[in-house]
Structure 1
Amino acid sequence: MNDKLLKIGVIGAGGRGGLSRNAVLPGVGGKIVALCDTDPDAFKKYEGVCDENVYKCSDYRDLLARPEVEAVFVCTPDYLHEEHAIAALQAGKHVYLEKPMAITIEGCDKILNEARKSGKKLYLGHNMRHMRFVQKMKELVDSGAIGKVKAAWCRHFIAYGGDAYFKDWHAEREKGTGLLLQKAAHDIDVLHWICGGYTTRVVGQGGLTLYDQITDRHPDTERGDATFRNENWPPLSQKQLNPVIDVEDISHILMQLDNGVFATYQQCHFTPDAWRNYTIIGTEGRIENLGENKVALWNTRCYYKAEGDEQFDCTPEGGSHGGADPMIVAEFVRYVREGGNILTSPIPARHSVAAGYLATMSIR
């Protein structure tokens, strides 16, 4: 056991950067020693988490120049991931990189090449692999509970799409490629992981079908969150959207994996409800998650029964994203300090971006 605390810097302290605070929880083994963000208000969430004299800056290069920083959380907007991750690796820092890895396949490959050259650890923030219901589905598949996997699909309803993704840079192709990277990168990775293969063929359809009709635009609207505010409902009542909106608000993609599995993914950003549903079908049964709390197994012939033949409790533990955020941060800190196995890896992260990117190009 390494008793020395891992000294951490955070590039992009606002937004997802807040998950880095899990590194200082008891028993995790991290200490945040430097913060970087272009918005000084982002530092407020670290009060009581860091020393009062924690180093703060607005230029990531200043943070990377700090010799005490051993590892860096890169939690900046997607279009900056490539630049910031490569710079951190070149500076000799271990890197936690939020998903998506980059907004192009080429960008992912550049990061991977730099990680190989640097010899430093690169860890990708695909936190859904740590969610209990995802792990249960993976366990059931690996145990042979449904035989050999043949088909899978995911339906993703994003009720807060207009609040969270069409009021800032997420709405612009130039800065994110499309929401199949920002949102579907999670789900494509989960489908790859559970089904045991990577996408080799992909085709997509979709479009910008609703949010382009809203003419109320504003360049400095504060991005919303995942709360459900009915004053913004129905979706066409949204106001102060990003001036540029050229990404799809609905997408369907078909994938064929290298092991023969056929998979689909559907995403919609203007549903009244928020729901993410996976179905995996094998030669001897089917599994499906019922929200984030339960997974059901069907393995006898019947007319449809919603409860399945067997159910498994997957009630999330404490912490954001179904308890996954504390676990993924703890795993990163342990991986840097001690090595060992990890649930996520840069290679699968690259493959999820590749599938999402090529699906987006297919749509367009």
Structure 2
Amino acid sequence: MVVKTLSTEEILKRVIRKEDFVADKTAFIDARTPGSDKKENYCIIGPGVSENPNRFINLIEPHGFNIGAAAMPNGCINSLHLHQTAEVFIVAKGTWRFIWGNEGTDGEAILTEGDVISLPTHIFRGFKNIGSDDGFLFSILGEDDPKKVTWGPQVLRDAKDYGLVLLEDGRLIDTAQGVTIPEEAKVIEPMIQEELAKIRKVTQEEMNARVFCFKDRFPYKEAFLDCLSEGGKKLTYGIIGPGISTDPNRPTLITNPHSFSLELLEAEPGNGLSSCSQSTSQVLIVYKGEWKVSWSLEGKEDEIVLTEKDVMSVPKNLIRSIRNVGKETGFLYVVSGGDEWVPLQWTESVIEEAKKNKMELDEHGRLIRE
């Protein structure tokens, strides 16, 4: 295995503070439609599905998934649309109503802070901020290229009334600003009824099973090798896929492939994840608290503290530790690339300390207890 050595400067470029997010108010075709015209979208890692060719992307490097965000005031609506790859939302702030179905009438889910929803591919979905004006969502999209969004028929008709049309090549044309549609270009037309009839229906029960409810969370106490060691005590929650849990018996809420895993770590001050590395992409999203990420390069110790809504892309194979250094219980969402479980590579000191608590690894890196 070839490990690329990064400088501290390069690692710090992978830290994206909340104040570094750049709002895009013209990301989608419904940017002028009343009720949807107050949205702010963000491309944090990867291009996402923005239709704005001038969008700003904080970190372009492919991860196997995309990280984005949306800020919307109370009453603002994200119009009905359909995705080709996984779409997951983490509620960072506010109360949100999610709907689905061709007309948005097949069901609804009300999410509050800390909740997560994974919306099935190839169905129409929309959402509305029904809480405070500072509502904020993080989004995770599957694959490096999540492809283009398919909009509901009425969304396209409404947008055209306000001068916006979408071309098949993904370009958004603003006819209200005098931009003409190229002669050779094909405009995306609303889906016809025969096409709509082929889209499957998702029941309320099926969608309920794809919602992680933060206030009703049930922890798994010993998911990692270091969970009984000083500084490693934590609770974990498997949300999507196997995650990075050392214990293969930790349950996960949603098991179908997404191209990534998602889990939540909960730790008291002074605790977190002990020194280890990971061979796949990993992104940290701070929900609550202050989290210190520490690493060593060429014998020099470096660290950075992440706070609420900060995002960090951890380099592959970097040995690091993650600690809650705040004064309150901390919560950290962890996104890992790929659908397969990949074992963490623990440092020898962590392995030896775990043995004192009768926690060891088998030859595959899975947790065994004496």
Instruction: Identify, as 1 or 2, the structure richer in helix.
Output: 1
Q: TM-score, normalised by structure 2?
A: 0.23
Instruction: Identify, as 1 or 2, the structure richer in strand.
Output: 2
Q: TM-score, normalised by structure 1?
A: 0.23
- Determine which structure has more spread, i.e. the larger CA radius of gyration: 2
